[in-house]
Structure 1
Amino acid sequence: MSLQDQLNNDMKDAMRAKDTIRLGTIRQLRSAIKNKEIETGKPLEDDAVIGVITTQCKQRREASQMFRDNARLELAEKEDAELVILQAYLPTQLDEAELRAIISEIIARVGATSPQDMGKVMGPVMAKTRGCAEGKLVNQLVKELLAG
């Protein structure tokens, strides 16, 4: 079953269960997927859908932090609840040790030796970890490994 089929089924289940947060989150996600399909002019494969979900997760994290900074805890909690729902559709996230191993292997493969080589490393790392790691963490680890 494709990810979009799963989203459709989960949306129907949320309607039946009257789960408004899950229903709203899935509807927003399906809308973002549809917009991306219109933008690209073709139906999205599961990898592209994972990219859209990752973007939605990042937006929820940023919004939650912004609401917390402005003492709007009820809105931050709503964003956090939506984030949990979205993360259920992503592949299992890599832990820091696995990420370090992948980054080290790519650094050795491309011959990167200094922080100036970060661009050479980030592209292949992000391609290999798409949907399985947060870009901010990858960026931090690449900087750390290239610096030391």
Structure 2
Amino acid sequence: MMQSMKDKIREDVKDAMRAKDQVRLDTLRGALAAFTNELVAKGRKPTDELNEAEMLAVLKRLAKQRKDSAEQFTAGGRPELADKEMVELKIIEAYLPASASREDIERVAKAKKTELGVTDAAGQGKLMGA
């Protein structure tokens, strides 16, 4: 049986403790706490389990928060705090599935546009529905 994302994070928490990697440890503990908070917010018991999709949603939210914080710190002239947020973002992104690059998306969209024969703005609704 494949281990759940939460089990993987718990294992990585232990590894971070052994390696004395405090940033990684704090980030992963924060993710586990966010999972528990999500359960409570949904009116479930903290001892229940989130499904993989719910855990992914929580991790995506954490990643977005780190990205937004890094931008705010950079704009506020605090590059050292922005760097810390970016390190945490990299740790969280390791648990997220790889997202398609902009070039990949554009290539697929152009292929679909050609396949459907869309040439003007009127046909774009058909393309969006595909």
State the aligned residue count: 117
TM-score scaled by structure 1?
0.68
- Residue 118 of structure 2 is matched in structure 1 by none
Unaligned runs of 5+ in 1: 106-112, 125-148
Letter of the 2:69 partner, please give it: A
Structure of larger gyration radius: 2
Instruction: Note the alpha carbon deviations across 1:2-31, whole angstroms, 9 max, x for none.
Output: 100000000010011100000000011111
1:18 aligns with 2:24: no
Q: CA deviation at 1:99?
A: 2.8
Displacement of 1:100 = 3.7
Separation in structure 1 between the aligned mates of residue 4 and residue 20 of structure 2, nearest angstrom: 24
Q: Scaled by the length of structure 2, what TM-score is found?
A: 0.76
User: Where does structure 2 lack aligned partners over 5 or more consecutive residues?
Assistant: 113-120
Please say if 1:95 is aligned against 2:101: yes
Q: CA RMSD in A?
A: 2.8
Q: Percent identity among equivalent residues?
A: 33
Task: Write out per-residue CA displacement over residues 69-96 of structure 1, whole angstroms, 9 at most, x where no aligned residue.
Answer: 1111111110000000000000011112
1:77 correspondence with 2:79: no
Write out the 4+ residue segments of structure 1 that deviate beyond 2 Å after TM superposition: 97-105
User: How far apart are the structure 1 equivalents of 2:14 and 2:56?
Assistant: 20
Q: What is the aligned partner in structure 2 of residue 8 from structure 1?
A: 10
